[in-house]
């Protein structure tokens, strides 16, 4: 049994297989997921797991160099948007490497998810609680 890592087998496989510049999306319960992209569905009930719990798990086990979020996120869900930015800042400081944040329209965001290796669906029901992570390197 995995003692210190991710317990979800599909998510664990994903974070070990992505390479530099590969993208993965963590999304709320309502984001449409393209049928051409692998879906890792963690949603159990409304809010479980939360967006931030899932973001924390991904950031703990993956090296990220940039993220993409929807422009609408800040206005529609300011507390969660700020929590994400704070967590990214914490990760950036710990790695001593910047994490670039790019904002695009929600429509462009949805279109971009087709580039992701996988979309990880959470139980989050907060509007625009979605992020695309671009993998970095640990050296």
Whether 2 has a binding-site annotation, put simply, is no
Whether 8 has a binding-site annotation, put simply, is no
3-state secondary structure the chain: CCCCCCCCHHHHHHHHHCCCCCEEEEECCCCCCCCCCEEEECCCECCECCHHHHHHHHHHHCCEEEEEEECHHHHHCHHHHHHHHHHHHHHHHHHCCCCEEEEECHHHHHHHHHHCCEEEECCCCCCCCCEEEEECCCC
61 flagged as catalytic: no
Whether 129 has a binding-site annotation, put simply, is yes
Whether 28 has a binding-site annotation, put simply, is yes
Active-site residue, from 4, 8, 20, 81:
20
Whether 130 has a binding-site annotation, put simply, is yes
Residue list, annotated binding site:
28, 106, 128-130
Catalytic residue IDs: 20
Residue list, annotated binding site for substrate:
28, 106, 128-130
């Amino acid at each position: 049994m995995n003692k210190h890592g991710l317990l979800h087998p599909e998510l664990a496989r994903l974070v070990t297989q992505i390479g530099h510049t590969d993208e993965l999306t963590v999304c709320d319960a309502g984001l449409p997921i393209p049928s051409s992209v692998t879906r890792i569905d963690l949603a159990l009930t409304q809010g479980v797991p939360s967006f931030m719990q899932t973001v924390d798990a991904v950031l703990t086990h993956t090296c990220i160099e940039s993220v993409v979020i929807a422009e609408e996120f800040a206005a529609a869900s300011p507390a969660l948007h700020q929590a994400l930015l704070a967590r990214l800042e914490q990760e950036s400081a710990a790695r001593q490497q910047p994490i670039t944040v790019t904002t695009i329209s929600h429509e462009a965001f949805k279109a971009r998810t087709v580039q992701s290796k996988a979309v990880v669906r959470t139980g989050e029901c907060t509007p625009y609680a979605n992020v695309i992570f671009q993998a970095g390197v640990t050296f």
